[in-house]
Amino acid sequence: MKGVESIEIEVVRLPHGRDLQLPDYATASAAGADLLAAIDQDIELGPLERKIVPTGISIALPVGFEAQIRPRSGLAAKHGVTVANAPGTIDADYRGEVGVILINLGKEPFRIERGMRIAQMVVARHARAVWREVPALDETARGAGGFGSTGVVTGSSKRA
C-alpha cells in the first residue's frame, strides 16, 4: 500500500488454528492486525479474571522489529476486556505461539468464542540502547518534572 512500509513476515499456522484466518487488517490503513482466539471451547472470563488466550500462530519477525499486542478499544469500552500486559511484546527471536493475556476489568463475565477478534498486533521497528554512562545529563525545560507536573487543564494557565 502506498505510503505504508510493508514487510514480509513468516508465519506458521499451528494445528489448532488451521481453519482460522491469518491476522488481518480490518481497513486499508489500520495499524493493527486482528488476532483471533484459537480455542476449542469457549472461555468464560469472570470479573478480574485473566487468561492467556492462544492465537494459533507463531511468527518470525525480522531482527530490528517487534510486534505489540494491544487491546481492541471496542472490547475495552463495551466489556472492560483488555490486554493485561499491554502492549505485550513479541520479540524477533520468539518462535512460540503468540498468546494474548486478556483480563476482564468489567463487572460481568465475558465469553470468548473460537475465532473471536480478541486483540490487535502492531509490527514496529525498535532500537537497542548502547548505554554510555555519564556523570550528569544535559538541562532541559522539563527537567525532572513528570507525573502530572504540567497540570491537567489544556489551554489554560491553571495548573493542578
Ligand X SMILES: O=c1ccn([C@H]2C[C@H](O)[C@@H](COP(=O)(O)OP(=O)(O)OP(=O)(O)O)O2)c(=O)[nH]1
What residues are designated binding site? 72-74, 85, 89-91
When asked if residue 12 is in the footprint of ligand X (CB under 6 A), the reply is no
Taking the complex as a whole, how short is the minimal distance between the CB of residue 136 and ligand X, in angstroms? 31
Residue 26 CA neighbour count, 13 Å, CB half: 12
One-letter amino acid for residue 115 of the chain: G
69 binds ligand X, rule: CB under 6 A = yes
Residues 89-108 that bind ligand X (CB under 6 A): 89-91, 94, 98-99, 101
100 vs 106, which CB is nearer to ligand X?
100
Q: Is 113 left (phi over 0), alpha (psi -120 to 50) or beta?
A: beta
Q: Which residues contact 48 (CB under 8 A, 6 or more apart)?
A: 103, 104, 105
Q: How far is the CB of 160 from ligand X (least distance, A)?
A: 34
Give the one residue of 73, 85, 149, 150 binding ligand X; rule: CB under 6 A. Answer: 85
Q: Does 43 bind ligand X (CB under 6 A)?
A: no
Query: Is the backbone of residue 151 left (phi > 0), alpha (psi -120 to 50) or beta?
Result: left
Among positions 36, 88, 103, 110, the unique one binding ligand X when judged by CB under 6 A: 88
The torsion angles phi and psi of 17, rounded to 5 degrees, stand at -120, 10
d(CA 49, CA 110): 10
- Chain residues that interact with ligand X, rule: CB under 6 A: 69, 85, 88-91, 94, 98-99, 101
